[in-house]
Amino acid sequence: MKPLTSCLTSLALLLVLISLACTKPVSTTGDDSASVTIGVALRREVSQYGVTWTFDKPARTGQFITGDWWVVGPVRIVKITPAPGPAKVDSSSIRINHWNDTSLKQDTTMRNGSMIVLKAGYTQGYDSRSGSFTKKDVINLPLDLATNRSLISSISNTTLPVDHFNKDLMWDAEKQSQVVMKAAAVLTCLDEEPPSDAFRPPYAGTDKPILRVKDIRWNLLPKLQPAGEVPSWEAFERYFQRPWIDHIMSWSQQELVPNENQPPYGREYARLVSIASLMVMLDVPQERKEKLTIELIQRGIDLYGLTMVGGYWNEGGGHSSGRKWPILFASLMLDNQELAQLPETALFHEDTQTYYGKGWFGQTVLWQMITHHGQREPYEEKHPSQWEKWDKTSESYRTCCNASAWAGTALAARYMKAIKLWNHDAHFDYIERWMREDDPYASARGNYPRPKAETTTYDPFVTAMWRAHRAQAPEQEIAGNPKKFVWQGKKGVWVSNPK
């Protein structure tokens, strides 16, 4: 029998734990500070990133390892703050881009909207200034939120333009961007309390797999010596802290997505993923890289969920980069093969734009722009003297917006022996062509010299890491089933593409 004092001590500890569990929390992660989980409790409302959800009665709530909220439901939401609804005036200063178009319009119908995303598509109910807005997507209150559903709630910007999400990495002309959403948060409704180390399930669809931090295989991360100046860990933890809303399958996403959550353009999406992927592979203590690794895995979980409900990313010249590697990274790190078993509908920019062929100066792995104001055809087989207007435009996107953002993830995938898992060898061979410092084709180029953008990236850290570590990357099996994305009428298909 335990001594009485021991029993009293245990009882006191139990009472303290119960008291902590029942305490109503203040709003957490409402600013840019690190997420702090605060325990499971019955709560009438929860808040995150400036969004507050109020229930009709106390509900059992808690936070995933990422800080995002879950609630055991079904639950009735009677209020969302800031309130969704029309704006009194529209003070947006909408500008036309260099293509003489915009996806935005003056419209006061909806601000601060919410959505339950069951399918990736072309419409949204967050903000009516975007041409993608439809009233059918708008969530009306009170809302009976069913289990296995995720509610995305937003805060709208009142004026435009706004600061670019990662303005510190941008050049002066692009330090501001034109996006109508300011912030977004996700509330996930489950039928039971998840483990304390659970990742947030994908915000799209009704399949809410519970994946756990305890399953992370930390030993898979190589320990590379830093090269160049390592970016700020705190800055990158902030870049990946919040959910990136990615269910709009159109370039109009660029002028919609929340500027306090994510980058608006695919080039920067891929740049951030590239840099973060190499940072977590540095030879630093595990606790230094834990938060960023968890955030990168969470990004992959969200993207996997989108592929399961029709998500694909081959839109435009530079809009759709950076989505594939986070999924594969999450699959590897969690030893979860299901995450890498993607549907055929899940097209990725890095794959549809690269293929094998015979280029005009002798190159054997080529780049193509798939869509931009309509379908586009391959052009690198033709001599530049024969390039038409859209061929020249394609070349401008090749050099401005793609490989320069892909190199980091290609290097990371090599070090995790993921080339076969990626299943598109031309992507890796094209990055080799881009980053190669010597030019074996110099004499064949004639009066059309190699573009200055090649051999490097926009991010000195990525370039330095490539120079320092590419040669030592492990040899590995390739996928070996080369294919090329081509248009057949209005439909894109994969065809055999011998190397």
Per-residue H/E/C for 159-219: CCCEECCCHHHCCHHHCEECCCEEEEEEEEEECCCCCCCECCCCCCCCCCCCCEHHHCCHH
173-199: burial string, b at 16+ Cβ within 10 Å, e else: eeeebbbbbbbbbbbbbbeeebeebbb
What's the whole-model pTM score?
0.92
Pairing of strands 114-115, 149-156: antiparallel
How high is the mean pLDDT of the chain? 92
- pLDDT category at 91 given cuts 50, 70, 90 is confident
User: In this prediction, what percent of the chain has a pLDDT beyond 90?
Assistant: 87
Closest Cα to residue 407, out of 377, 437, 371? Answer: 437
Confidence check: pLDDT of 382 > 60: yes
pLDDT in tens, 200-219: 999 999 999 999 999 999 99
Residue 217: Cβ-neighbour burial (10 angstroms; 0-12, 13-18, 19+): exposed
Closest Cα to residue 64, out of 244, 238, 201? Answer: 201
Confidence check: pLDDT of 99 > 80: no
- pLDDT category at 98 given cuts 50, 70, 90 is low
- pLDDT category at 338 given cuts 50, 70, 90 is very high
Confidence check: pLDDT of 23 > 70: no
Confidence check: pLDDT of 35 > 60: no
- pLDDT category at 7 given cuts 50, 70, 90 is very low
Encode 119-156 in three state secondary structure: CCECCECCCCCECCECHHHCCCCCEEECCCEEEEEEEE
Query: What pLDDT does residue 103 have?
Result: 83
Phi, psi of 486 (to 5 degrees): -130, 155
User: In this prediction, what percent of the chain has a pLDDT beyond 70?
Assistant: 91
CB 412 within 8 A of CB 281: yes
- pLDDT category at 92 given cuts 50, 70, 90 is confident
Confidence check: pLDDT of 58 > 80: yes
What average pLDDT score do residues 246-268 get?
A: 95
Least confident among 3-17, 267-281, 343-357: 3-17
Residue 214: Cβ-neighbour burial (10 angstroms; 0-12, 13-18, 19+): exposed
Tokens coding 224:
């590379």
Confidence check: pLDDT of 315 > 90: no
**259 three-class SS:** coil
Query: What pLDDT does residue 418 have?
Result: 98
What average pLDDT score do residues 297-324 get?
A: 95
Confidence check: pLDDT of 16 > 80: no
Query: What pLDDT does residue 95 have?
Result: 76
What average pLDDT score do residues 486-495 get?
A: 94
Confidence check: pLDDT of 13 > 80: no
CB 35 within 8 A of CB 29: yes
DSSP 205-246: SS-----BGGG--GGGS--BPP-SPPPPHHHHHHHTTSPPP-
Query: What pLDDT does residue 400 have?
Result: 95
Q: How many CB atoms lie within 10 A of CB 471?
A: 7
Confidence check: pLDDT of 26 > 50: no
Least confident among 233-237, 279-283, 314-318: 314-318
pLDDT in tens, 112-159: 999 999 999 999 999 999 999 999 999 999 999 999 999 999 999 999
Taking the CA atoms of 419, 425, 429 and 431 in sequence, report the sign of the dihedral they define: negative
- pLDDT category at 22 given cuts 50, 70, 90 is very low
Confidence check: pLDDT of 30 > 70: no
What average pLDDT score do residues 270-279 get?
A: 98
Confidence check: pLDDT of 76 > 70: yes
**Measured distance CA(486)–CA(279) in Å, rounded:** 35
CB 335 within 8 A of CB 281: no
- pLDDT category at 102 given cuts 50, 70, 90 is confident
Residue 3: Cβ-neighbour burial (10 angstroms; 0-12, 13-18, 19+): exposed
Confidence check: pLDDT of 93 > 80: no
